[in-house]
Amino acid sequence: MITDDTLREGLQTPGFSFTIDEKLKMAEILGNSGITRALVSYPSAHISEEEITRKIVERNYFKEVFGLGRTLELDIDKIYSTGANISLHLPFTLEDMDSVLKAVRYASSKGRIVEVGLVDVTRFTDKELISLATKVSEAGADVIQLPDTKGLATPFRMRNIVELVKKNVSSMLEVHCHNDNGSSVANALAGIEAGADYVDCSIFGIGERNGITDLASIVSILELEGQKTGVNIKSLLKCYDFLHDLILEKIGPSLFDANFPVFGENTSVHTAGTHAASSRVFTGSKYSINVYTGKHMIKNILRTLNIDIPDDMLTKLVGMIKDISVSTGKSVNVEQISKMCRELIEDEKSIS
């Protein structure tokens, strides 16, 4: 019932990043605590994400390992090449459903478990949700994830969403609840009560903006209700200790204040490049920059610095930013980006 998302969603925590070794160590500790299902990476984001996924699969830390990507054959092939199961998220604008469903069918043909996230489920009417879930299920999704991407759901709404989808599809269901309003645990439990098969969680609930459902909270509550999760709470504490030390080293205790629901500053900070590129959906203008950044985000930051560079130079700059973030295990700040960009411009001038 538990899906751990610390290694993927957690990398979207504002101001935070992992090195390859830190990710692998966290995977090992999570596996030793009884976690059997984990979403560990976004392989199309950077070569390090591919490497991490392969190693986690090879070392058999989890029974089921997933990599996340877009509904594109390129992303699907990258995930497949790592040996992981395939998790896909739909675009934030569903203008070309034929291409989306074609990609889901392509993923299904690979012979791995295919999970598809219907991002931002609260934006859909009941009729739209039934139609979308049915099409995705019929295209071959083994699991349909129902993400409250913007953290706007209530327990009542999440329960209704899960019940509605469950009545209309044969796929298994997973809930993924963000904590902007402090209701992620309650929303996740409501989803489970309504029949969700899996719940997506992370250590300390870390993730995009102020995070998602906290893993220990869900495990503890489910165990109190007599549901066996297979997770050893005492062993799980080692995961919290390990991540706690990383957070204090990289950010400091201020993260826990910044992650506070409603008032915490992280509720308006975006890390995922796909979020930054969807400004019609995500209105926050603050960014955290690491290996999950994208060209759109960096272009927006350069615009605030009155810097305009050609697309090929932008691609090179984004690659440099990702490399630095992975090697240092830290997010990259605006001053670093400005310096790297100006150095690229000077190098280009010297060559020409």
What is the percentage of the chain residues whose pLDDT exceeds 70? 95
Q: For 124-146, what is the mean pLDDT?
A: 97
Q: How confident is the model at residue 352 (pLDDT cuts 50, 70, 90)?
A: low
pLDDT of 274 higher than 80: no
Helices (H) and strands (E) in the chain, counts: 14, 10
pLDDT of 281 reads 44
3 state DSSP class of 10: helix
pLDDT of 47 reads 96
Question: pLDDT tens for residues 38-77?
Answer: 999 999 999 999 999 999 999 999 999 999 999 999 999 9
pLDDT of 278 higher than 60: no
Q: Is residue 165 within 8 Å of 133, Cβ to Cβ?
A: yes
Q: How confident is the model at residue 279 (pLDDT cuts 50, 70, 90)?
A: very low
Burial 46-56 (b: 16+ CB within 10 A, else e): bebbbbbbbbb
Least-confidence region, from 39-43, 62-66, 210-214, 332-336: 332-336
Burial 227-241 (b: 16+ CB within 10 A, else e): eebebeeeebeebbe
Q: For 74-91, what is the mean pLDDT?
A: 97
3 state DSSP class of 306: coil
Q: How confident is the model at residue 218 (pLDDT cuts 50, 70, 90)?
A: very high
3 state DSSP class of 231: coil
Show the CA angle centred on residue 265, arms to residues 259 and 267, nearest 5°.
Answer: 70
Q: For 177-199, what is the mean pLDDT?
A: 97
pLDDT of 277 higher than 70: no
Residues 6+ positions from 271 with CB-CB distance below 8 Å: 11, 12, 13, 14, 208, 287, 288, 289, 290, 292, 293
pLDDT of 272 reads 60
Domain-wise residue ranges, the chain = 2-255, 265-351
pLDDT of 268 higher than 80: yes
pLDDT of 283 reads 52
Q: Which two tokens stand for residue 151?
A: 């953290």
Compare 145 and 278 and report the one with higher pLDDT. Answer: 145
3 state DSSP class of 199: strand
Q: Which two tokens stand for residue 15?
A: 């101001």
pLDDT of 95 reads 82
H or E, element range at 29: helix 20-32
Q: Tokens 């490497």 — which residue?
A: 51
Q: For 210-231, what is the mean pLDDT?
A: 96
Q: For 83-99, what is the mean pLDDT?
A: 92
What is the percentage of the chain residues whose pLDDT exceeds 90? 82
Q: How confident is the model at residue 121 (pLDDT cuts 50, 70, 90)?
A: very high
Residues 6+ positions from 37 with CB-CB distance below 8 Å: 2, 3, 4, 62, 63, 64, 66, 198
Q: Which two tokens stand for residue 28?
A: 């090992």
The CATH architecture that domain 2-255 belongs to is: Alpha-Beta Barrel (3.20)
Residue 90 to residue 232: CA distance in whole angstroms: 34
Which of 245, 248, 257, 175 lies closest to 210 in space, CA to CA?
A: 257
Q: Is residue 175 within 8 Å of 162, Cβ to Cβ?
A: yes
pLDDT of 262 reads 93
Q: How confident is the model at residue 282 (pLDDT cuts 50, 70, 90)?
A: very low
Compare 296 and 85 and report the one with higher pLDDT. Answer: 85
Which of 192, 212, 193 lies closest to 203 in space, CA to CA?
A: 212
Q: Which two tokens stand for residue 96?
A: 């070309």
Torsion sign (Cα): 59, 64, 70, 76: positive
pLDDT of 275 higher than 50: no
The per-residue pLDDT of the chain, averaged, comes to 93
